Amino acid sequence: MDKVLIVTGGSRGIGAATARIAGRRGYAVCVNFLKNKVAAKQIVDKINADGGQAIAVGADISKEEEVLELFSTVDDRLGKISALVNNAGILESQMRIEDMDSKRLNRVFLTNITGSILCAREAVKRMSIKNGGNGGTIVNLSSAAARLGSPGEYIDYAASKGAIDTFTRGLAQEVAEEGIRVNAVRPGVIETDIHASGGEPGRVERIKDTIPLKRGGKPEEVARSIMWLLSSESSYTTGALLEVSGGR
């Protein structure tokens, strides 16, 4: 298979939507998950039922040894990867800075920043033509929060996505001559479980009137932008931060 994709956090939300569309577009897909094996298995079953090829692999991307295991499992079961969607990301309860402790900050930064960088490292090792690979594409999930700052909600999460923007620009230049393109999408308010993690499941409803398009986005609407960045349709695009935020 020449199109092999890992989607981190592919069991739910934007990652699950991306995995499903990728399966339909001829990628062999690894659906990574943290805890929700049942949801990951359901996505894999749907991809296989659509005539695609997919596997579910559990791994906590904030832990280096689990990242190594994830990539070597994909080497063995699907072959050399050509695409990575660095999608897994977390936020925690809405609060002001006075109430944030270092444990929380480290959890958010470990998953959102360290985990994404470790996964990109393993992808570059395999994709870079300098290392004997065939090139590839990486899409990182940033957020409109990197631009807006998320005051009063989760400035730590917003800061972690600012790091992803900088990482995207730097890595894109570092590996541009090695056959690898690196881009990021910055979703706005998308209808997924992530808002419940912040303690406000109804956040999309509260915010929607402040969005020029007057609604939250669907995971599939972000997934289609990710797929464009993964595809050769975007062959001259690298180091880009693509807003998918309904104009907000």
What residues are labeled active site?
A: 157
Selected from 25, 36, 105, 149, the binder of ligand NAP by CB under 6 A is 36
Q: Which of positions 177-196 make contact with ligand NAP (CB under 6 A)?
A: 187, 189-190, 192-194
Cβ proximity to ligand NAP: between 81 and 189 the closer is: 189
Q: Which of positions 102-121 make contact with ligand NAP (CB under 6 A)?
A: 111, 115
Selected from 19, 22, 56, 61, the binder of ligand NAP by CB under 6 A is 61
Q: Which two tokens stand for residue 244?
A: 């998918």
Selected from 15, 133, 162, 198, the binder of ligand NAP by CB under 6 A is 15
Q: Does 133 bind ligand NAP (CB under 6 A)?
A: no
Q: What is the smallest separation between the CB atom of 130 and ligand NAP, expressed in angstroms?
A: 28
Q: What is the smallest separation between the CB atom of 58 and ligand NAP, expressed in angstroms?
A: 8
Q: Does 211 bind ligand NAP (CB under 6 A)?
A: no
Give the interface size with ligand NAP as a residue count (CB under 6 A). 31
- Name the residue among 121, 134, 136 with its Cα closest to residue 61: 121
Q: Does 141 bind ligand NAP (CB under 6 A)?
A: yes
Q: Exposed/middle/buried for 196, CB within 10 Å: 0-12, 13-18, 19+?
A: exposed
Selected from 3, 12, 20, 126, the binder of ligand NAP by CB under 6 A is 12
- The span from the CA of 133 to the CA of 127, in Å, is 4
Q: What is the smallest separation between the CB atom of 209 and ligand NAP, expressed in angstroms?
A: 16
Q: Does 137 bind ligand NAP (CB under 6 A)?
A: no
DSSP codes of every residue in the chain? ---EEEETT-SSHHHHHHHHHHHHTT-EEEEEESS-HHHHHHHHHHHHHTT-EEEEEE--TTSHHHHHHHHHHHHHHT-S--EEEE----------GGG--HHHHHHHHIIIIIIHHHHHHHHHHHH-GGGT---EEEEEE--THHHH--TTT-HHHHHHHHHHHHHHHHHHHHSGGGTEEEEEEEE-SBSSTHHHHTT-TTHHHHHGGGSTTSSPBPHHHHHHHHHHHHSGGGTT--S-EEEESTT-
Q: Does 89 bind ligand NAP (CB under 6 A)?
A: yes
Specify the stretch interacting with ligand NAP by CB under 6 A; choose among 11-19, 97-105, 129-137, 176-184: 11-19
Residues engaged in binding ligand NAP (CB under 6 A): 8-9, 11-15, 32-36, 39, 60-62, 87-90, 111, 115, 141, 143, 187, 189-190, 192-194, 197
